[in-house]
A = this chain, B = another copy of it.
Amino acid sequence: MVLVSGGLDSMVAGGLAREAGYSVVALTIDYNQRHWVELEAAVRVAGMLEAERHIMMPIDLTRFGGSALTADIDVPKDGVQPGIPVTYVPARNTIFLSLALGLAEVSGARALYIGVNALDYSGYPDCRPQFVEQFQKLANVATKAGVEGDRFQVETPLLAMTKADIVREAARLGLDAGQTWSCYDPKGHQHCGRCDSCRLRAKGFAEAGLPDPTDYAEPPLG
């Protein structure tokens, strides 16, 4: 079970699941209608992972508001700041992993791959190791499978990686990073080059010493 966002991180997480010998069931949560380019990328990534099943699940988190990604708040362009950014979506990874858990239980999948990482994580509380550990504990008391001893494992192979490491892993696994999408503020099919996510992406390629295949509307700043 791989949560596929269409970004670089979930592509690499899925590639590592395949390298570990798993076939892939992919779940993409469509929580933010503004960024349909992400969903196109998710379809490409699921194809690259040869997913046996790819479910696109729409859920309208814009009804909750409270984030630059789901409400009418400007995406910040002034670089990565300390603290939890306005692009934080309340309880996002909790909601995503819960849905992945439901689909995993039905599909017979017991390994849940999510491409969170704690180093270049932009300050989100639900990308930290503590969060992942608590979710795994929850999964095994919350489900029929868990209660019956068929335990779930939440796999976060990117947790300790830098963005440069992730870029290198993509290359090592033969996965085309150019097919993925990172930008929070798309300019058509171009990445903006200014949001936190574009900055981290560009920095990753630069630090990995690998060519950046991304089409940026403006040259990315560090």
Asked whether A59 lies within 8 Å of B57 as measured between CB atoms, the reply is yes
One digit per residue, 1 when the CB lies within 8 angstroms of any chain B CB and 0 when it does not, for chain A 55-83 equals 10111110111100000000000000000
- Kindly identify which residue among B55, B138, B147 contacts A134, using a CB–CB cutoff of 8 Å: B138
A187 at interface, CB cutoff 8 A: no
Asked whether A65 lies within 8 Å of B98 as measured between CB atoms, the reply is no
Q: Given that A57-B63, A59-B59, A135-B138 are contacting pairs, would A126 and B102 also be in contact in the complex, using a CB cutoff of 8 Å?
A: no
A193 to chain B, nearest CB (A): 27
Please name the residue on chain B nearest to A91 by beta carbon: B102
- Chain A residues with a Cβ closer than 8 Å to the other chain, count: 42
By secondary structure, the A interface counts as helix
A88 to B106, CA, bound (A): 11
Asked whether A138 lies within 8 Å of B138 as measured between CB atoms, the reply is yes
Residues of B within 8 A of A89 (CB): 102
Asked whether A102 lies within 8 Å of B128 as measured between CB atoms, the reply is no
Q: Beyond A58-B60, A91-B98, list 5 extra A-B contacts (CB 8 Å).
A: A125-B142, A125-B146, A131-B142, A134-B138, A137-B138
